[in-house]
Structure formats: structure tokens, C-alpha cells
Structure 1
């Protein structure tokens, strides 16, 4: 890594906590290198956990999906926002209370598993509404939720991810559906359970028994911010939702500790960088010129990224500037990082 160490990043941690969508798989296809990366971690004696905001599958279903992709996983290694939301409601409501579920069957199953009664209509007098992602969610379910919340039901969202990564590009996530209900109700949910709230990561980190945990994610506003709220270091991989331009504009609470193109950064010191670096380091120089962040010099693309972060994060104005190459090597590096021309 460019911060001077020759050791593998993963050697500093007992536990690695992965986000799923955009890190391990896209919808139902493993991301290249993910199967091998998890296998290497297990072979090296590391603990593995998965923390996902996607509430459309139960932990056992996620574990089965991962195992089918060649990533052996146990249900107890999977932490979902659906299960976390159900446990939160269990702790707040009397046994058998009616909860209106907007989402997939997995979320209904989690509500039922904690002794609450999932319902689908507002006239069944639910005391709470829980809203999670489900590909079949439509106007009718949102309408029932709106009526229930207006009647006094507590509104809990499993997460507010605006999009889901997919091979076809970002698709509407639960946050988009929450936004529709927020518009209709002119108010926010009473509680949001999933990332960036720290609960999922804090629960996972306890399994490391103080030996160190690293969060790996593709979203700055959920994975990385959630890791920071939980007091954990994080690795941003560029295989999912957020890329370099998003990283440069990230607010302080959503800035990762490390960045790599993919999961190879866990094992290869040359495939990961600590951010921010210095504006002039690793053979690169970044300066503000003609209302742009101008990159000159040559070297490792990731070192150019670290230098860019140093300057972009120095002021709010710099974070909004476009990036421009001032040398052929810089042009190649920015292209390798996916920075648009």
C-alpha cells in the first residue's frame, strides 16, 4: 500500500464484513474475483460476515444463494436489515401485534418469526408499518401503508438505499419507494434500521473479539458511512454503485479508509491505497488549475486517486471541481480509474 507498508491489508484484521450487492454479487451473479477472495480469507483463518440492506431475502436464503455461487456461507454469518427491523419491532411492541409489511415475503417471515403478526391492509389496525425492498411492491401496498401511518402506526424503513446495483446499471432501491411514501405523507420514517445506521456492523464486529474488523462496501452513503458510525475502518471497492467522482465529492462522514478497484486489494499491497494521500506523492502532482483538479506526472493509478482525494477533500469547493489530465500517463490513469473525460 502506498502508506508505506508492504503487508497485505487483510493481515491487520481478524474479521472482514462484506456488503453483498455490488461487492460479492450483482443481483444473482458473482462479481469476478469474489468467490476466490472469500475462499482465500477462510483458508487463511479469517472470519467472514455479510451485512446487507436488501430485505428481500432471509439470512438462510442469502446463505443458500451465496453457497450456490461458490461462496460457502452459514445463515448466522448473514446480517440483514429485515431481521434487524423485526428484532427492533419485537422489542418495542407486544407479542402478536399487527405489523403492516410493505416488501417481500422474507420480511413477512422475519416479522412472523419474532412473534408479531404481519398484515397487508390498514383496516387490520396495524400498530407499525415496516417497509423493505421487494420487486413486486406497487401502489396498492404503498397506499395501505400511507393510510396506516396517517392513522398513527409507527413507520420503520429497513433502509433508504436509493438504488440497487445491477449488470444493467443502478435500479430503484428501497429508498426510492420510501421517497414515494415520504412525498405522500410529507414526513420521514420514524426509524431507519439498515446502513448507514451502525447496528449491523456493530453486531458483526463483536464476533472479532477485539481482534479487528474491516468493512468492505461499494456505497459511500451506506457501507462506508455505516462503518464510520460503528468506529470501523473501511475499504471502498469500485465494483458497484459509487465510483471515483462520487468518492472525490464524498462528505467527511462517508470517506473510506482504503480504496481498491476490486477485492484483490485485500491481498495485493499494490492493488489498494489508503486515502487521502498527499497532493504530490507516488509520482503524481494534483493542483487546482483553471477551475479543475489537474493531474500530472506518472505512477500507479491508485496513487493518483489518493492524491486527488487529498486536494478534493481539502475544501468543499475543490470537491466539486472536474478532474483533468495534464500528461499522457495521467490520462491513462484516470481512464483506468473510470473517471469520465
Structure 2
């Protein structure tokens, strides 16, 4: 359970984030790259953050590739990275399994080769059949070429009562052509057949955050991601701050409707936000509603004023300035209005005005 207080507005930060936080825990898909190409501005922004003394760690729920292969891919894109800079959900699930089964136990692996190394490093024996007497089943993303028969083996073993672990439960993966099925979609197949639930290691679950902190030694980390339900919720569960970048799957309307566990401390258009501060967002009027929820709210950031209340169930926006400042003001109005819930006010007109 997170100890974070209720966030009703984005935080302010007078200094560049890369000088305030010692380590950036960066998601990859949708943040650093999409498909086979780096996100616009990502290479230069990461170099600038590193120059200012921030350590960069690449934290991915994708367990299909070994850390060394991920580091090689990043380096080829112009983002220098060593295998030790990469933390995968395969490493997190391997630690979780090793804590639950005897040393040298057999583990049925359903997924990509990125799962094999971390399990073997923990002294576990990888098998590929439910008939090999496994002590655990570990399922991770195996890529579009993974044979259907691998899911058969997982289902057979789980039906026999073998403990079931998952690297992550992401339903989708971003791609240049749209959303592709992720490991969560494959987990759903086994779940439907067996009625069982896996123990999940990856974001937003605590085992992934624990693995990341152990491997990086971060003292004041900043989670950087594009997904509310994995990156931002993972930061919330870990009790640390997060920066949401709008280069991946999350759209502005989803951010405004976010419940507390999905509200980031900061928001930026892309990774250049690491080398910038964050402006103050002021909530100057609040009336009605219990405990800060409901009623009339006015929030200001930059040259923008966002407000709720009146007869129309919508978020209103007046003023001019940087679009991200307008979005921050809208976040403060929506989150304050919603309190511990999710804001259901219509923000369509305001977001069109911001081009978001």
C-alpha cells in the first residue's frame, strides 16, 4: 500500500528534474522508442540529463529480450547503455520465483529468451513441458512468433496446481501500426482455461519496483513513463514521484480522468522534460463538496485558468499560453474536483483548444 498523500494537482519543481532526482527509471516502449525508432527528441534529451549528473536506468515490462540485447538496441539508436543499466520484468519475476521454490527447481518457461537467463542466474532449471515436473510456471511476452502450443503447456501445468508467475500483465504493446497484444492478452488465455490467477512481478506490482531499486541503488528515483496503469501506478505503489510523457499510449483526456493511483507528479510532452522544471499550479477557489471533492474549482498555470462548476458538467479553460500549462491547470481542476475518485467531467472543448 502506497503512503503517498492524495495528489490533487501536478507538483511544481523550480530546478530541472535531472538535478533534483538522482536516477531516472525510464520505461522504453512509448518513452524512449516506438517500434524500431527512437521517439523524437529522446536521444538528445537523455544525453542532456546524463550530462547534468542523472543516472539513466531503463526499466521495461517486456521480458522477451535479455538485458544485454536491450542495451545493444539502445546503443544502436544513439542512447549509450550497458546491460547493467537495463532492468527487465524477467529479472523481477526470476527473483520472485527463486524466493518461492527450492534451489535447482525446474521452471516451465512460456515466453521469449529474455526469461531464460535471469532464471538460470538464480540457479533454476528451465524446462518447456508440463510433463517435466516443474515447480513453477513463468509466463512472459514471447513475441508474435511464439507458438500457440506454449500456452497449452502453461495451461496443463497450472491445471495440475503448479504455481503460476507472470513477468507482467500488460494487455497491449505500442507499435507504429497501433496497439499490439501484450503478455496480459496471453495470460487471459490461460486464465480462461484454468480459472487461476498468476502472481505478477512487473509494473505496477511491487516486485518490479523492488528489483529496480536493488539494481540501481537509487536514493531519489524518478519514474518516467507513458502508461498510467503501469508506470504511474507502479510509482504510486512504490511511494516515489513520476513524470508522464505524452509520447506513448496515454492521451490527455485519460490523464484528466485519472484516479489517485494514476496521477503523476509531473507531466511533459516528451523526455526534454527531464532537463526542465515544472511550473506551479495554483488552486485559488474551491466551494462545496466534502473533503475537497465536487463543488466549484478554479486552477491556474501559466496564462491559463481551468474551472469546474456551473450548470454544464464540463471542464472549462480560459486564457492563453503553453499547451502543457493549460493541461496542468485542467489536471488540478479535475483532480481536485474528483478528490479520491475519477473525474467524469467533459473536457473535450478544452482539449481541442490546447490541440491535445
TM > 0.5 fold call? yes
Partner of 1:310: 332
Determine if the alignment matches structure 1 residue 320 to structure 2 residue 344: yes
User: Does the Cα contact within 8 Å between 1:104 and 1:132 map onto a contact in 2?
Assistant: yes
Partner of 1:143: 152
Q: Write out per-residue CA displacement over residues 259-316 of structure 1, whole angstroms, 9 at most, x where no aligned residue.
A: 01101111234xx557796633133232245332232332221222122222322227
User: Does the Cα contact within 8 Å between 1:276 and 1:309 map onto a contact in 2?
Assistant: no
Task: Assess, with a 3 A threshold, how the Cα gap between structure 1 residues 132 and 5 changes in structure 2: closer, same or farther.
Answer: closer
Aligned residues: 327
Measured in 2, the distance between the counterparts of 1:147 and 1:118 equals 17
From 143, 153, 161, the counterpart of 2:170: 161
Partner of 1:19: 27
From 201, 222, 232, the counterpart of 2:230: 222
User: CA RMSD, aligned part only?
Assistant: 2.3
Three-state SS of the structure 2 residue aligned to 1:61 is helix
Measured in 2, the distance between the counterparts of 1:230 and 1:318 equals 21
User: Does the Cα contact within 8 Å between 1:58 and 1:83 map onto a contact in 2?
Assistant: no
Task: Assess, with a 3 A threshold, how the Cα gap between structure 1 residues 302 and 95 changes in structure 2: closer, same or farther.
Answer: same
Determine if the alignment matches structure 1 residue 29 to structure 2 residue 11: no
Q: Write out per-residue CA displacement over residues 172-228 of structure 1, whole angstroms, 9 at most, x where no aligned residue.
A: 111111112111222311x11011013333444464563x22110011111111111
Partner of 1:257: 265
Partner of 1:238: 246
From 281, 286, 291, the counterpart of 2:300: 281
Q: After the TM superposition, which of the residue ranges 93-102 and 231-240 deviates more from structure 2?
A: 93-102
Task: Assess, with a 3 A threshold, how the Cα gap between structure 1 residues 215 and 182 changes in structure 2: closer, same or farther.
Answer: same
Partner of 2:90: 82
Measured in 1, the distance between the counterparts of 2:282 and 2:64 equals 36
- List gaps (5 residues or longer) in structure 1: none
Measured in 1, the distance between the counterparts of 2:250 and 2:342 equals 19
Three-state SS of the structure 2 residue aligned to 1:170 is strand
- List gaps (5 residues or longer) in structure 2: 1-9, 285-297
Three-state SS of the structure 2 residue aligned to 1:182 is helix
Partner of 2:291: none
Three-state SS of the structure 2 residue aligned to 1:48 is strand
User: Does the Cα contact within 8 Å between 1:8 and 1:266 map onto a contact in 2?
Assistant: yes
Measured in 1, the distance between the counterparts of 2:222 and 2:240 equals 6
Measured in 1, the distance between the counterparts of 2:18 and 2:95 equals 32
Q: After the TM superposition, which of the residue ranges 94-103 and 283-292 deviates more from structure 2?
A: 283-292
Determine if the alignment matches structure 1 residue 47 to structure 2 residue 69: no
User: Does the Cα contact within 8 Å between 1:276 and 1:306 map onto a contact in 2?
Assistant: no
Measured in 2, the distance between the counterparts of 1:110 and 1:318 equals 38
Three-state SS of the structure 2 residue aligned to 1:96 is coil
Determine if the alignment matches structure 1 residue 176 to structure 2 residue 185: yes
TM-score, L = length of structure 2 = 0.85
